[in-house]
Structure 1
Amino acid sequence: MTMPSWKKYVVPSALFLLCALAQAAAPDSSLAARLAAFDGWVASRMAMERMPGMTIGFTRGDVEWVQGYGYADLENQVPATAVSSYRLASVTKPMTAVAILQLVEQGKVDLDAPVQTYVPYFPVKPFPITVRLLLGHLAGIDAYRDHKTEQHFKEHKTTRESITVFEYFDLIAEPGTRYRYTSYGYNLLGAVIENATGESYGGYMQRHVWGPLGMTATMMDDPAAVIAHRVRGYGLEGRELKNSEFVDVSSRFSAGGTRSTVPDMLAFGKGIHDGKLLSPASLALMQESMVTRAGRLSDYGMGWETYPTGGRYVISHSGQQPETATYLFSFPSRKLTIAVASNLERVNTAAFAERLFEVVTGEAWELKPYIAHANAQLYGQLAKGLFDEGRAQLEKTGQPYTGDPAVTQLAFDQINLQALKQDDARAASLFIAAARHPAGGRVLLTAGSSMAARLRQAGFDLDQYANSGPLAFVRDYIVLSQAAPAGGTPRFDPAFEQAMLKLGASWDRTAAVAWPAQPSSVAQLSKQLETAFRDQLVYPDFMAEINELAQTSSGRGDSVQALALARLAVALYPLSDRAQALHGILLMSAGDSAASIAALRLALDRDPQGAASATALNNAAYRLKAGGAVAAGTALLQAAIQLHPDVANLHDTLGSFYVEQGLRAQAVQAYQQALRLDPAYPGADGARAVIARLNNAH
């Protein structure tokens, strides 16, 4: 049989294999050319990330494209292909959520019933745990506590044994009050499916979810089974690739215990778009963010992350576990799904999916303008909130959030009074952050979607703002509102309007400046960007690119270039917490502790919840350790504790770093301090177990 010209196999030296399902249409010639150019970007990115193999693809309407890059098995030089079989990890969760909602539609499960209705052996807790709250990670169920045990099971576990792992954990919060992402909650949902149907989880999924969508390569991960095209998993120790540790993921069965291919992931996304598995009402419920009792969005619906990005309506889910990293993006109103899977642990697969989105749609994933004046940074925050919430609402429903002019006017009045005429900049920023939540009246959604609807009515193409961004969106609305009859269109504060017109004009001059494809040197890069951005009010934020280049330089041992890039970041973006934090982290890696802490303090002052927050520095320390810089990671944790002395988790992480270095006494002290600060912090039980193990080792 002769293959169509758009299907091709290239020998492993070119590091890719293109394959697509026979019934899918081919990309048109223009898209095919862009996809060919995408190959070069992927090869460069994979080399930088030290990725062995990856498969990525999309489906839009009747067009489907899937391609493998690199190797599914390095040792035997087996290429990654469209049919390579990867662990799905947490991309399993939206599939489990679909199964639960099917059973709700059939009357076999009640979303608001206590979980013990279906899993009677699960211990009753001080507060009722409902199926609905489990779906949204709002049930108070904790995640892993003793990581050294719970994330390294070698033996197969039954459903009952999987529940036993965590069934006596205390709740971390009253259900409904706190979002806590946890695979254990989704294990309980798997048990609900089994007890409500009398079938095994895998059996039900094959008959009612995977099978109806033709997902023939999707199955429970079984280390003993012979599975066609199974990839071998890898991790990085420093810059050296190692075979992944074997972990039996049956303990995560309905939360992350499956294996599949990218075409099957795409089939699942298409099945969601086409309504093949659930009613429209259930689909809407699944894709709507849940809300805490305090009225805050969790940005997670039922099995899907729901945060609007770049002003577009998108749902997604990532997956990370030994042997794999996955991501599934769904754009329901566009009938577009993008899926990616890699056999390298902890790699940023989202970056590949985002780039493919740009190739397929011609839209920027997310524009990030940097505003160079502190007193105008608040305006950028407001513009982004209005754009993200407003344009996404129009893309999702085609209509503004409310048709009541009085409610819309009230939203504008609140923005004007509490953000734009507020003397306290921190209070204004907090108002804007809260204004997207129900407790804040959904002010940004109300005003932003009204703006989008009025622009569309006036003939503006809302799609254009993907490539011009929030500043252009707000600027165009201001121009439109100023030309409208008095009282007919809600207006912003005049000072804000004037500032936004100036910012918009500056953005028109700088937005087209692109990050160079092949920066030849830091000096040349500095000259190019500083010249382009000199005396401008706003210009593109290339912090992600600078950070990536700096981390790559640091990873290969070029600390001089890494620090030079960090200094460039601070020179271009002095008001950015990310720039100051990058400088601080790289100074710590270079051994300059005092300068590092000073830079981190600046970052913390820029944004207390940003790149120098306790969580961000904790994650940065783990990245240093993963790159082989355990000592630098330890020093960074010690600095983080100076900045955040009362955060138990930092002391806990420091304890784990000390354990890895054989410093038992220091490890015990760190864990004990974590427990003194918070005896019930999420890792408390694990800390007690480690302390007992270390004390018994003497």
Structure 2
Amino acid sequence: MTYARIAMLAFLAGTAAAAPAMAQVSPLPCPMPNRDAGGRSNIHTRAVETNLLSPVRAPGDAPSSLAARMRLYGVPGISVAVIHRGRIDWARGWGVRDTASCAPVTPETAFQAASISKVATAVVALRMVEQHKLSLDGDINLSLRGWHLPGDAHLAPQGVTLRQLLSHTAGLGVHGFAGYLPGAPLPTTVQILDGVAPANSMAVRSVLPAGAQFQYSGGGYVLTQLALQDATGLPFAELVQRELLGPLHMTRSAFAQPPSPDILADIAFGHVAGRPVPGNYHVYPELAPAGLWTSAGDLARMLIDLQASAAGQRGHRLSPAMARAMLTPVKDHWGLGVELYTTAPKRFGHDGVNEGFQSFMIAYAEKGEGIVALTNGGQGRRLIDEVVRAVATDYGWTDIAPPAVPEKRLPLAVLARAAGRFEGGGLSVRLEARPDGLFADAGAPSPERLAALSPTRFFSHVLGVVIAFDAEYASFTIVEGGPPMRMVRSTAAPSASGKDR
């Protein structure tokens, strides 16, 4: 399961208990390595080391150090790469690869990218479309040799398409995957799709009408994996190496599950409660949705290539037209393999969670700026969000993360405009305006009071997510701390008191 889903479910429930990523963490046993161990330092890296803040800054609050925040959130190690003016401005690590050896994170340390793997998969799939080996809008079954997605005359009378698979609009089930212990029997791609032993996930089948709505499905990406293998005759990992990783010199990246000797030479272990997970990491044969080992710098190289193509430059992995298609919304805030932030200036990216790993990347679509951050345990996304804020403040990227501000005290009349029931992605939350603030309530015993950052932006201390309302308060979107999921006001209007009728 990705952090995206965990965060939204917990936000809707109004309780920290619903969010495993927010659980208490154990103290870390390793001291912070010497600064030089993580790579080169400069004025920008020192800003990260000394200027971490949440979105809300209380009067008199001083910025926290990175080392203190890593201890607070129980994060053993973090790797960061920053894109500036179309190139990698800097990349380095902090903390340790694992709490057994206490070896430092370096710019070359490989982490599990988790669901960010889907972006690499989408680039390769779209290359195959441009090479006329796959159809973007034809029935995916026509590209399969042996196994076929069982037909569903009611939910998918025309089958499902690659465009739908990449944008999570195919109506397929199986949100994510738990992985396997190293050495355990691994299922084949077909066994994963059919949900048969030794697979530990359900069968990938139609559960909603194809093309009608967004429904996040890692299972759909396993189907894409099979289609790529059948269309090219190459194993998925070999295909991605040939079409993406090799040409972009992503030398610390591989869809190698379990990891190859090259990756193992400088690898981060996944951690839970301050200790390496059993086996040090889970193995994900579901390569396309979850199987990429990579460094922050390598992911930055992929983002830079996409930015260049979207800007009209030729000679990159995708043509300018295909890159722009990838970054065009298909449904809500999702393009072909990427999350989209559609308010100007446009941004794109992805986040991800595998057992013991959390990751996030975001970049501008129309200029060469962006950031990648990878962590190996604890409340990694909470730390990532504060690192992103520090970098965004340093570089002036206020669209990605505005500087921290004091909490605003808004009049009840303003809060009442935000009150009501909001729905999206099969989820629902009721926001209630009270004299002391705006409260998120989904039936939990203790609704959370959201901190107002402005009349239209609110912050959940429990989840670390920022939501932003549109000008008419007809919907809100998560703009920090999770994917850009949009929730729309239901037709049942709130009463004058702010409660549903």
Same topology, TM > 0.5: yes
What is the CA-CA distance between 1:75 and the residue it aligns to?
1.6
Instruction: Find out whether 1:138 has 2:169 as its counterpart.
Output: yes
Contact persistence 2:174–2:218 (CA under 8 A): yes
Residue deviations 1:540-584, cap 9 Å, x none? xxxxxxxxxxxxxxxxxxxxxxxxxxxxxx999822115x89xx9
Equivalence for 2:299:
265
Moved more, 159-168 or 121-130: 159-168
Q: What residue number does 1:85 align with?
A: 110
Contact 2:124 2:243 in 1 (8 A): yes
Shift of the alpha carbon at 1:90? 0.8
Matched, 1:576 2:438: yes
SS at match of 1:192: helix
Indicate how the Cα distance of structure 1 residues 191 and 601 shifts in structure 2: closer, same or farther if over 3 A, else same. closer
Matched residue, 1:557: none
Cα distance change on mapping 1:331 and 1:252 into 2, 3 Å? same
Distance 1:167 1:242, change over 3 A: closer
Q: Partner residue of 2:25?
A: none
User: In structure 2, the residue corresponding to 1:250 is in which secondary structure?
Assistant: coil
- The residue that corresponds to 2:121 in the other structure is 96
Contact 1:123/1:168 (8 A) holds in 2: no
Q: 1:288 aligns with which of 321, 328, 338?
A: 328
Partner of 2:287: 253
> Gaps spanning 5+ residues in structure 2: where?
1-30, 53-63, 196-200, 310-315, 425-431, 451-456, 465-501
Q: Greater strand percent: which structure?
A: 2
Identity %: 19
* Structure 2 residue 250 is the aligned partner of structure 1 residue 225: no
Partner Cα distance (2:239, 2:370) in 1: 24
Partners of 1:110 and 1:283 in 2: CA distance: 16
Partner residue, 1:46: 70
| Cα drift, residue 79 of structure 1 | 0.8
Compute the displacement of 1:260 (Å). Answer: 0.9
Check conservation: 1:15, 1:71, Cα contact below 8 A.
Answer: no
2-structure distance, mates of 1:261, 1:141:
30
CA distance in 2, matches of 1:204, 1:114: 22
Q: Which has the higher helix share?
A: 1
Q: Which amino acid aligns with 1:317?
A: H
Partner of 2:369: 336
In 2: Cα distance, 1:92 partner to 1:199 partner = 18
Q: Report what 1:129 is aligned to.
A: 160
Q: By how many angstroms is 1:376 displaced? A: 2.5
SS at match of 2:90: strand
Q: Residue 214 of structure 1 is aligned with which of 226, 249, 253?
A: 249
Q: Is residue 240 of structure 2 the alignment partner of residue 205 of structure 1?
A: yes
Instruction: Call closer, same or farther: CA 1:267–1:164 in 2, change over 3 Å.
Output: same
| Aligned-partner SS, 1:58 | strand
- Give the whole-Å Cα distance in 1 for the aligned partners of 2:98 and 2:449: 45
1:173-192 correspondence runs (5 A): 173-192=208-227
Deviations 1:85-108 (CA, angstroms, capped at 9, x unpaired): 111111110111111111111111
Q: Deviation at 1:72?
A: 0.6
- Which of 406, 409, 413 is residue 375 of structure 1 equivalent to? 413
In 1, are the aligned partners of 2:39 and 2:92 still within 8 Å (CA)? yes
Q: Which residue of 2 aligns with 1:69?
A: 94
Equivalence for 2:57: none
Give 1:74 deviation, angstroms: 1.5
Out of 66, 70, 80, the residue aligned to residue 56 of structure 1 is 80
Name the aligned partner's letter for residue 19 of structure 1. G
Q: 1:195 aligns with which of 230, 237, 241?
A: 230
The equivalent residue for 1:157 is 187
CA RMSD of aligned residues (A): 3.7
Instruction: Summarize the Cα distance change of 1:573–1:273 in structure 2 as closer, same or farther, 3 Å threshold.
Output: farther
Quick check: 1:55–1:81 contact (8 Å CA) kept in 2?
yes
User: Which among 323, 335, 355 is matched to residue 322 of structure 1?
Assistant: 355
TM-score, normalised to structure 2, is: 0.67
Tell me which of 438, 444, 447 is aligned to 1:600: 447
Deviation at 1:48, TM superposition (A): 0.9
**For 1:266 and 1:171, how far apart are their aligned partners in 2?**
34
Measure how far apart 1:225 and its partner are.
3.2
Question: 1:271 is paired with a residue of what secondary structure?
Answer: helix
Q: 1:374 to 1:13 in 2, by over 3 A?
A: same
SS across alignment from 1:327? strand
Give, in angstroms, the shift of residue 306 of structure 1: 0.7
Conserved? CA contact 1:56–1:353, under 8 Å: no
Residues 204-258 of structure 1: CA deviation (Å, up to 9, x unaligned): 111111111110111123336322201122112xxxx222134643331111111
Residue 342 to residue 289, structure 1, CA distance change in 2 (3 Å): same
Picking from 289, 295, 302, the partner of 2:336 is 302
Structure 1: how far apart are the matches of 2:257 and 2:179? Answer: 17
Work out which of the two has the higher radius of gyration on C-alpha atoms and give 1 or 2.
1
Q: Does 1:34 align with 2:68?
A: no
SS in structure 1 at match of 2:285? helix
Q: Partners of 2:337 and 2:125 in 1: how far apart?
A: 10
The amino acid across from 2:268 in the alignment is: V
CA shift in 2, pair 1:34/1:196, >3 Å: same
Aligned equivalent of 1:244: 277
The C-alpha deviation readout for 1:91-133, integer Å capped at 9, x for no partner, is 1101111111111111111111111112241232211111111
Residues 600 and 231 from structure 1, CA distance in 2 versus in 1: closer, same or farther, beyond 3 angstroms? closer
Aligned 8 A contact 2:76 2:377 in 1: yes
Q: Which has the higher contact order (CA 8 A, sep 6+)?
A: 2
Q: Counterparts of 2:318 and 2:435 in 1: how far apart (Å)? A: 47
The whole-number CA distance in structure 2 between the counterparts of 1:140 and 1:277 is 29
Alpha-carbon contact 2:80-2:373 (below 8 Å) kept: yes
Residues 358 and 130 (structure 1), Cα distance of their counterparts in 2 relative to 1, 3 Å cut: same
> Counterpart in 2 of 1:509?
none
Does the 8 Å contact 1:116/1:124 carry over to 2?
no
One-letter code of the match for 1:160?
V
C-alpha distance in 2 between matches for 1:354 and 1:196: 42
C-alpha separation between the residues in 1 aligned to 2:194 and 2:35?
44
Q: TM-score, normalised by structure 1?
A: 0.49
CA shift in 2, pair 1:313/1:362, >3 Å: closer
> Residue 99 and residue 325 in structure 1: after superposition, are their counterparts in 2 closer, same or farther (change >3 A)?
same
- Residue 385 of structure 2 is matched in structure 1 by 350
Distance 2:396 2:207 in 1: 42
8 Å contact kept, 1:141–1:180? yes
